[in-house]
Amino acid sequence: MLACLLAACLASAGHAEQTRTATSAAIELPHGDAAGVAVTSRGRLFAAPVLSPWSKAPDGADPAQVLAIAVDRSGAVLLATGPDGQVLRVAGGGETKVFFRADEPLVTALLVLPSGDLLAASAPGGKIYKVSPDGKGAVWADTDERYVWAMLPGPADSVYAATGDRGRLLKLDAKGRSTILFDADEPHLVSLAAAAGDGVYAGGSGHGLVYRIDGQGHAAVLYADDDLPEAKAVVVEPGGGVLVALDAAPAPEKRLPAVRIRMAGGGGTGASRGERGDLEDLDARDGGSLSGVIEGLPSRDDSDEGVRLRGRVVRIAPSGGVTELWKSATEAPFALALDGGGKPIFGTGEPARLWRVEDATETALLATLGEAQATAIAPAGGALVLATSNPAAAYRLDRAPAAAGTYVALPVDAGGIARWGTASWRVEGTGGSVDLSTRTGNSEDPDGTWSPWSTPSTDAAGSAIHSPDGRYLQWRLRFPAGATTPRVSSVSVTYAPRNRAPTLRDFRVDPPSGAVGAKATFRWSAADPDGDPVSVDIQIRKRGTDAWTAAAHYDPPPPKAGEAPSGGDSGSREGKVIWDASGVDEGVYDVRAVASDQPSNPPGEGLTWAADLPIPARVDHTPPVITSKRVDGAVEVLVTDSGSAVVRLEVLEGTRVVASPRCADGVCDGTRESFRIAKEDAGAPGTRTLRATDAAGNTAEEPVPSP
């Protein structure tokens, strides 16, 4: 559904060959192919920090999910995984091994103690294991909760634990004995961050509340989200601001309206499954009924108003003010952290993506990964470790870019074969130059029929496009390697489409019979794919001859105030022209309309479209002949015509029509028609007149004969 570039308005409308400009659209840039290049919400491109695979699950360990990350005192990264209840240890070189295995299927939270021991929470059952540096562990605390979602160091060697499904914040002493510090009014507390003093920030799941809880268990709601029910992650910035990642479950699939038909007598129907079509099995509990869905009706969810949010990231200032940094109707944030420069970084799904907040008005997509979700982020040395789920994997994110990056845009569609002019782009900053290459083709998706990539251009102010003519163009930017690189925005390409022919539809004549006396009106619907104004020539050719001659000409009206000179867009426009046939010889003529856009194109490059009139035109200037006589007081009338059908006979008294008799065969459609006028309609002698009309509009009048 997406085109990477939006076509701008024509520089001067009304000319198919006029140069047009297509400029990159910020909302569509994320759909291009970025390799080592970040794309921001404001449409800027820059070389992204290097993200490289860092670990691989060892033989015999094939986790699907990573639920938490911790870094031990040696700098090794520990991954809490499921569904096999493992803790994996990733050494500095990426070597990975199973460090510990819990009895439960999920390890949900990790905390490295000052002693070097590891606390690993498991679920279901809410047990916390203490694991020594050699990987040996035992149950340290049984929380009597079903889940422990997060842990945080507390005062005097204590530990805070966020739990579910009773939504409690526990405080555990050095021996693992727990007390309930705070009982939230929602089923889960899922995230923790240290607050000033002995307090913590806790994110809830159920109502999406963020609490500030002091060391005595007194709590205040810091933030409430009306749209999203889960505060998945909470991070405190050095200046005291609080970052929160909130999400919601995916929207349920829309359900078709259901129907249940109760069977008479509650018995079986005798129909087989195949005979029932989409209906479900007989439901004996309902006394015998058939259930199914009604196709073609709106689903139950079609009446929902507005767009349902899937995720949001906000910043809560120390003063309490809230700034929305990012939101999405399709993606949910699962992990949140600060990078080495203090910028918020968060991971989403689906698919797994990594984002960075540049400032309050701009967010950058750093990478899109092959896994389903990016579920955990933690600092490790001078880098960040990103963990994914479905399948589980780990990546290392360096702070600064070091390798070259490439961005390939989605194809630009010129709508038809086009000549391509120049490419230009805006550059911000220094640190090396970027280059741009192009390729063209006539298939929507680039394939082997497209031209090769052109020689790179580096003049951002305007570089000639050397790719051949084609309907589609794709551009590629390459960023240099280095610690600092420029940022690129507003990539534009110019092009001049080849002219395309106008079209003419529904060509017709009035009168519909095609019989023409003095004048006829021709009508049509014309359109031009380039938005050119369309002129129309009506041409005629007498049957038995070869030459076409001009009959009438139509030029589109000038534009109205505020309308483009071209007449607007490529939509159909109704047109009509009157043909004066008074000087044309009688006979049968073929008629065609020829539409042209030549006035809007260079000499010789205009195109035409011809449409034939479905029926021939009969030019008839001769009025019909009336023959009448009295028979037993009534009047019998014969009307004949040499050129077109007799369509009507009227009885006039002065100028007033007093009778319109029906023709003898019931339908007036021939050149010879008979009529009978009753005695009372014939009137007194010398008072009434007969008037006959043919299909071309010619008339003849005769007095009603005397008895």
pLDDT tens-digit profile of 298-342?
A: 554 444 445 689 999 999 999 999 999 999 999 999 999 999 889
Mean pLDDT of the chain: 87
pTM given for the model? 0.71
For residues 462-478, average pLDDT: 95
* The predicted structure's pLDDT at residue 8: 36
For residues 534-545, average pLDDT: 95
pLDDT at residue 276 tops 50: no
As a whole number of angstroms, the distance between CA 148 and CA 424 comes to 54
560 versus 585: the higher-pLDDT residue is 585
Task: Indicate the range of 263-277, 319-333, 340-354, 471-485 predicted with least confidence.
Answer: 263-277
Is 248:309 a contact under the CB 8 Å cutoff? Answer: yes
pLDDT band at residue 562 using 50, 70 and 90 as cut-offs? low
For residues 543-556, average pLDDT: 94
pLDDT at residue 519 tops 60: yes
**Which pLDDT tens digit goes with each residue over 375-405?**
999 998 778 999 999 999 999 998 777 678 8
Select from 43, 83, 21, 104 the least CA-distant residue to 473: 21
Pairing of strands 383-389, 373-380: antiparallel
Is 669:701 a contact under the CB 8 Å cutoff? Answer: no
pLDDT band at residue 257 using 50, 70 and 90 as cut-offs? low
Select from 245, 204, 209 the least CA-distant residue to 225: 209
476, 479, 485, 489: CA torsion to nearest 10: 0
Integer angstrom CA distances of residue 447 from 264, 419, 472: 62, 20, 12
- Residue % of the chain over a pLDDT of 90: 67
pLDDT at residue 295 tops 60: no
pLDDT band at residue 541 using 50, 70 and 90 as cut-offs? very high
563 versus 92: the higher-pLDDT residue is 92
pLDDT band at residue 1 using 50, 70 and 90 as cut-offs? very low
For residues 214-243, average pLDDT: 94
pLDDT at residue 2 tops 90: no
As a whole number of angstroms, the distance between CA 389 and CA 376 comes to 9
Region of residue 544 (left: phi > 0; alpha: psi -120 to 50; beta: else): left
Is 645:670 a contact under the CB 8 Å cutoff? Answer: yes
Q: Which helix (H) or strand (E) holds 298?
A: none
* The predicted structure's pLDDT at residue 252: 65
* The predicted structure's pLDDT at residue 289: 54
- The residue type found at 377 is I
Which domains, ranges and CATH numbers included, belong to the chain? Answer: 5-48+404-497 (2.60.120), 57-251+313-339 (2.120.10.30), 258-293 (no CATH), 503-619 (2.70.50.60), 625-703 (2.60.40)
pLDDT at residue 274 tops 60: no
620 versus 707: the higher-pLDDT residue is 620
As a whole number of angstroms, the distance between CA 572 and CA 416 comes to 19
pLDDT at residue 665 tops 60: yes
**Which pLDDT tens digit goes with each residue over 178-211?**
999 999 999 999 999 999 888 999 999 999 999 9
Backbone angles phi, psi at 345, to 5 degrees: -125, 135
Sheet (strand 77-82) strand order? 65-71, 77-82, 86-90, 96-101
**Which pLDDT tens digit goes with each residue over 14-30?**
444 578 888 887 787 88
As a whole number of angstroms, the distance between CA 513 and CA 670 comes to 12
Is 308:251 a contact under the CB 8 Å cutoff? Answer: yes
536 versus 511: the higher-pLDDT residue is 536
Q: What is the CB neighbour count within 10 angstroms for residue 411?
A: 23
pLDDT at residue 264 tops 70: no
Residues 702-707: contacts with CB under 8 Å, at least 24 apart: 702/626, 702/628, 704/628, 704/635, 704/651, 704/677, 705/628, 705/629, 705/630, 705/635, 706/630, 707/630, 707/633
* The predicted structure's pLDDT at residue 600: 85
Bridge partners of 40, per DSSP, are 364
pLDDT band at residue 282 using 50, 70 and 90 as cut-offs? very low
Quickly count helices (H) and strands (E) in the chain: 1, 57
